[in-house]
Amino acid sequence: MTDHKNGPWTVLDTDTKFENPWLRVEASNVLHPDGSPGTYGVVRFANMACGVLPIDEDGHTWLVGQHRFPLGVYSWELPEGGGRKDTVPETSTLRELAEETGLTAKHTAPLGRWYLSNSVTDEVAFGFLAWGLTQGEARPEPSEALQIERVPVADLLARVRSGEITDAFTHLMVMSAIDLARRGKLPDHIAKWLRDA
């Protein structure tokens, strides 16, 4: 590949250092915007990230607990996972919700599209709110060791505010849902659990 521009950087060449079905680690020899040489490492994800804030008629939501290997910590999060880039994000999100919690949803609303760590990865995340829930049987992937907890939305918000929940994607979905509720962009029977947060 010949030199090419990436914004103000000139990419001289790119080498794949590691690859598996979920990600690829690249190292690019570059010229920085000031013209000095350097190496830029990037993690490229095979899938998009998708997550969901489910809220039932009683003002409860579901949290998923699991050990996060990269940080070596246990993490409580909203249901989230990966979805194929050639699939509509909402479809992947509802599949992930059903797999992890057994829930199906009649209604969804987009919460946002975010780049979770844009200095070193190309990962894009899509968040949704879901309601009109029906409980079924959860079918998590065999490799996952998950705990599922149904909690009041108020409890979720308190755990986000206190810093007990540290997952950035969960924070983004919660803050976006609160904003939409306060601006009157959600059905009242769902917004009421978020509006006064």
Asked whether the predicted pLDDT for residue 74 surpasses 90, the reply is: yes
pTM confidence score: 0.93
CA separation, residue 40 to residues 17, 35, 105, 108, 160 (Å): 12, 14, 42, 38, 33
Q: How many CB atoms lie within 10 A of CB 2?
A: 6
Mean pLDDT of 171-181: 98
Mean pLDDT of 81-110: 96
CA separation, residue 121 to residues 24, 45, 72 (Å): 10, 8, 20
Structure tokens at 89: 């994000």
| Average pLDDT for the chain | 95
What is the model's pLDDT at position 68?
A: 93
Instruction: Count CA atoms within 13 Å of residue 56 on its CB side.
Output: 14
What is the model's pLDDT at position 39?
A: 97
Mean pLDDT of 152-173: 97
Asked whether the predicted pLDDT for residue 13 surpasses 60, the reply is: yes
Asked whether the predicted pLDDT for residue 141 surpasses 80, the reply is: no
Asked whether the predicted pLDDT for residue 1 surpasses 60, the reply is: no
Mean pLDDT of 48-70: 96
CATH class of the domain at 47-195: alpha beta
Contact 24, 31 (CB under 8 A): no
State the pairing for strand pair 47-54/124-135: parallel
**Of residues 9, 193, 12, the one with CA closest to residue 119:** 9
